[in-house]
Amino acid sequence: LAALPRLGAATVLVDRVAAFRDRYVARGRCPADDLLDAWRARHEARPDGSGAPLLTTHPHGKDTTS
């Protein structure tokens, strides 16, 4: 981030990179986390009020045992 002005980056770009860093990198997140949070908010509530997950995850690929 500190190098951007030295490289001639526009102020608006420096500001956007700083905002990205603050929103994601500093919090250990990525843009996909925002999408996952929104998806979970839509899909976790069950009409029957049970609170049980509507969808379950299944291991795949390297996560499966042979």
Residue 55 pLDDT level (bands cut at 50, 70, 90): low
pLDDT of amino acid 47 = 57
Rounded CA separation 42/40 (Å): 5
Give the pLDDT confidence score for residue 36 in this predicted structure. Answer: 87
Amino acid in the structure at residue 18? A
The pLDDT, as a whole number, for residue 37 is: 87
Residue ranges per domain, the chain? Answer: 1-45
Please state the rounded mean pLDDT for residues 56-64: 55
How do residues 6-53 score in pLDDT, each as one tens digit?
Answer: 999 999 999 999 999 999 999 999 999 998 888 888 776 555 655 555
